[in-house]
Amino acid sequence: MSTKKPASCDQPSSSPQTLAAGHAHTHPAPLSGASYSAVELQPDNRTVLLLDQRLLPRAERYASLTNVEQVADAITNLAVRGAPAIGIAAAYGLVLAAASAPEDPADFVEALERAHARLLSTRPTAVNLAWALARLLRTARDAASLEPADRLAKLAEEARALHREDVASCRAIGVLGALTIADGATVLTHCNAGALATGGYGTALGVVRAAVEAGKRIRVLATETRPVLQGARLTVWELMRDGIPVTLITDSMVGHFMARGRIDVVVVGADRIARNGDVANKIGTYGLACLAHAHGIPFNVAAPWSTVDLGCPSGDAIPIEERSATEVLRIVTPMGTAFTAPEGALAENPSFDVTPARLVRAIFTERGAVSPVNEAGLVSLETP
Ligand code: MRU
């Protein structure tokens, strides 16, 4: 499977920087109704509260962001991560841009276009980012000639609507996906496709939550997800908080557990789904899909329609983010940093891989399920 960059679906990548924001201890009132939230826009429409996921599971701390640069840094540095959540954070970033933009309509649009370009440059693979930014930029253009207070209110309203719709999508995806999960099943998931990665509730973890809410006894096996440990730090944290049985395994244990009959079904999220059904998701997903195929275990993908990119013909055209090699050369946790390789060692760090459609049993979206996974199935859901 090639992951080379295409001309058509590409966006620039960037390297990590630090989150330049003071930490606030105020707890937001999550729009999803949950007790925590990856990102929220404060009622003043001038502050974004963001749960700094780099500090989890050790600390639940919210950063208070007031400008586009801080939001862009937070996305690049994975303080907020997960395809839908970075789309929502970026949408709120454009609200912050509007709050400080010049009054003149043409200058306002120019300022918003600059902010759009900056936020779009943060991470290239998750198409939700481009999708959310395009939606907010359209609103900004439409509202440019309004009074500054009114156009700010319009942008904030649109960004909150996008956030609310994502939560509703996750719930619909969960209900649909849960129908395929048997009572007593053990579900393997990879990375974190939960409430932390979305507006709330989650996609892959939304399926797990909906199955549990339907009264099924579900166990989850969570891969630790090297190099940044989203599985160990975030998925395990979320599920333990909800009292859903979860057991952590290392990425390399999956074949063993499948061979022993310890995994009934795999459910993962996605960062971009191409027109032919190829799925880009966290590095390691492709390997899990191959193992699932070898063992006859269903491999399912749960994602909102905002992750589907019908303009991208196949997985070969999905841009794969290359992150800093230092993430591989050391293990960084909120508890400390361990260097695991000799000084000067070379490392590569593609952050995502592509699973070909033929290995995916079903894709669950809020518009319906696609199975078998192919272009015709996806295109049939194009019009809601
Ligand atoms: O690098 P990350 O943590 O942003 O990667 C996240 C994933 O790969 C998720 O599985 C994906 O974004 C789906 S989130 C609902």
DSSP 279-345: EEEETTHHHHHHHHHHTT--EEEE--GGGEETTS-SGGGSPPPBPPTHHHHEEEETTEEEE-S-TT-
Q: By alpha-carbon position, which residue is closest to atom 10 of ligand 1?
A: 269
The finding on whether 270 has its CB within 6 A of some atom of ligand 1 is yes
Residues sharing a CB contact under 8 Å with residue 336, sequence separation 6 or more, in sequence order: none
Percent of the chain at pLDDT above 90? 89
Report how far Cα 200 is from the mean position of its chain's Cα atoms.
Answer: 11
**Closest Cα partner for 62 from 81, 80, 43?**
80
Q: Is the pLDDT of residue 15 over 60?
A: no
Does residue 271 have an active-site annotation?
yes
Q: Is the pLDDT of residue 12 over 50?
A: no
Distance from residue 241's CA to the centre of ligand 1 (Å)? 20
Percent of the chain at pLDDT above 70? 93
pLDDT the model gives residue 28: 62
Q: Is the pLDDT of residue 24 over 90?
A: no
Confidence of residue 4 (pLDDT cuts 50, 70, 90): very low
What does the pLDDT average to over 198-222? 98
pLDDT the model gives residue 8: 38
What does the pLDDT average to over 209-233? 98
Q: Which of 52, 166, 271, 278 is catalytic?
A: 271
The helix/strand/coil state of 62 is strand
Distance from residue 217's CA to the centre of ligand 1 (Å)? 26
Cα–Cα distance, 357 to 295 (Å, whole number): 17
Instruction: Considering only residues 9 and 322, tell me which one the structure prediction assigns the higher pLDDT.
Output: 322
Confidence of residue 239 (pLDDT cuts 50, 70, 90): very high
The finding on whether 282 has its CB within 6 A of some atom of ligand 1 is yes
Distance from residue 108's CA to the centre of ligand 1 (Å)? 32
**pLDDT tens-digit readout, 36-51:** 999 999 999 999 999 9
Distance from residue 253's CA to the centre of ligand 1 (Å)? 21
pLDDT the model gives residue 27: 57
Task: Point out the ligand 1 atom lying closest to the alpha carbon of residue 302.
Answer: 15
Distance from residue 31's CA to the centre of ligand 1 (Å)? 21
The finding on whether 281 has its CB within 6 A of some atom of ligand 1 is yes
- For the question of whether the overall pTM of this predicted structure is more than 0.85, the answer is yes
Q: Is the pLDDT of residue 105 over 80?
A: yes
The finding on whether 82 has its CB within 6 A of some atom of ligand 1 is yes
Dihedrals phi, psi of 312, to nearest 5 degrees: -105, 110
Amino acid identity of residue 293, one-letter, is H
pLDDT the model gives residue 10: 40
Confidence of residue 7 (pLDDT cuts 50, 70, 90): very low
Task: Point out the ligand 1 atom lying closest to the alpha carbon of residue 202.
Answer: 15
Instruction: Considering only residues 76 and 1, tell me which one the structure prediction assigns the higher pLDDT.
Output: 76
